Amino acid sequence: MGLPDRFKDSMKDLLGSEYDDFIRSYDNKSISAIRINTSKITPEAFEKKAPFRIEKIPYISNGYYINDTDAWSKHPYYYAGLYYIQEASAMLPAELLPTDPEDIVLDLCAAPGGKSTQLSISGIRMLISNDISFSRTIPLVKNLDMFGMSDHCVMCEDPKRLSVIYPETFDKILVDAPCSGEGMFRKDPGLILSYDKRGPEYYSPIQESLLDSAYKMLRPGGMVLYSTCTFSDIEDEQVILSFLSSHNDMSACHIDKDHGLCGPYAKYSEEDSLKNCVHAFPHRFRGEGHFVALMKKETGQCPEQESLDDNKVFSSFPHQADDIRRFFSAGLSERMEEREFICSKDGMIYMLPEGFESIYRRNIRYVRTGTCMGSLNRAGKFTPHTAFALTLDPDDYTNTIDLGINDPMVIKYLKGETVIPEADGEWDIKKGFVLVCADHYPLGFAYYDGTKLKNLYEKGWIYR
């Protein structure tokens, strides 16, 4: 691999005697992995039904090494949201950020969503995922939807602006900062070209600004986890040193250095504030590369939050629409009674996260607020959305068809095709909306007219 000379020179200086082992690691193939969605299945249960070979990742509670990424990305279990395909070291930041059930967590640079999906199943109260790029929020929303998450919100805002709107608001903040990407050269050699144009010096001011914004939004006693997928000390140790020196009420928290993880470079051995930082190198463990630092805010005073007149912002479920009432009478009414909803100008209906009023601000650019339930056209006809289907347990909905995972009709459905039963087949379902499942895991909705299933699978998610 043609690594940049300045990258090699920098790593030789930083790693010393380990440099040769580090460079030799680039002769090996990159390692792929998946992370199990524990809101749908336990790792132990998944191990028994995994369609292909897996090997446990020792430092990730629900992570597994895999061989063929393409095969895993085309299996129905992927479309059912049972796992997320993610490079192993990229699982470290969300794994190492401690969370509690009452936490409101902000993923500040969230796209494409790998770390957000990981945080979303950590048992927190609510997840706020933000990205400054609108185009990047599109896959972010899709990945959260496919994971079946409901108590989340996606924003598209400049972190500096958010820090003014949300002073000392969040319990935990993840800053997986944009970086020069040195840790991903083996996985994506194309990043070398962008590195030649924009190296560590370009990104370090951006990273420092992001940490400063996160600090302003962090509650006293809260934690911020900073991570990059680069090896450069300019973007790692030096950014943390600069941040801690200018924020005296922040301190670095201990992170165990197990499974090949190691501390800061030797040149920073005298810096006590850096002893808890962690590097992941491809010559020390089975993964690509990451840097992680966990810090806690010791003091501060939480400002009073803006009070809201909920009646002007949210609405109860629009029961006046007959189509919606019929849909939710199929075993879902009780679940919906105490939730709040909002209907967008284009007729999309969203079930808001519980407690959403506490973080709602009128001047925020929201891309997604909670679960997309479906759409209501001008004639009052309701169509349920695939995202809502993936939040359900098949027992939640009475009109359900459960196909075998290897049934050819599963792939036909995921391709957006009309599904017709075999000549000698018979379905025990009623006319109307049907929840389509594979191996008892929801995939989406269809409309049954008595002879065939009209496909309602989300067009942007079609099986390729």
**Catalytic residue list:** 229
Task: Give 279-299 as a 3 state SS string.
Answer: EECCCCCCCCCEEEEEEEECC
Burial class from Cβ neighbours inside 10 Å (0-12, 13-18, 19+) for residue 405 reads middle
H helix intervals, 101-177: 114-120, 134-146, 159-165
Name the region of 264 (left: φ>0; alpha: ψ -120 to 50; beta: rest).
beta
Residue 433: strand pairing partners:
447
Contact 190, 296 (CB under 8 A): no
Q: How far apart are CA 400 and CA 398, in angstroms?
A: 6
Contact 43, 34 (CB under 8 A): no
Q: How far apart are CA 288 and CA 246, in angstroms?
A: 31
Residue with tokens 């370090």: 204
Residues ≥6 apart with Cβ < 8 Å to 390: 80, 81, 145, 146, 147, 148, 442, 443, 444
3-state secondary structure of 384: strand
Residue 128: strand pairing partners:
106, 153
Q: How far apart are CA 418 and CA 285, in angstroms?
A: 47
Name the region of 355 (left: φ>0; alpha: ψ -120 to 50; beta: rest).
left
Q: How far apart are CA 297 and CA 263, in angstroms?
A: 22
Show the tokens assigned to 417. Answer: 């095709």
Q: How far apart are CA 29 and CA 16, in angstroms?
A: 24
Q: Is the dihedral of CA 20, 23, 25, 28 positive or negative?
A: negative
Residues ≥6 apart with Cβ < 8 Å to 80: 40, 390, 438, 439, 441, 442, 443
3-state secondary structure of 383: strand
Q: How far apart are CA 407 and CA 439, in angstroms?
A: 10
Show the tokens assigned to 289. Answer: 């590369």
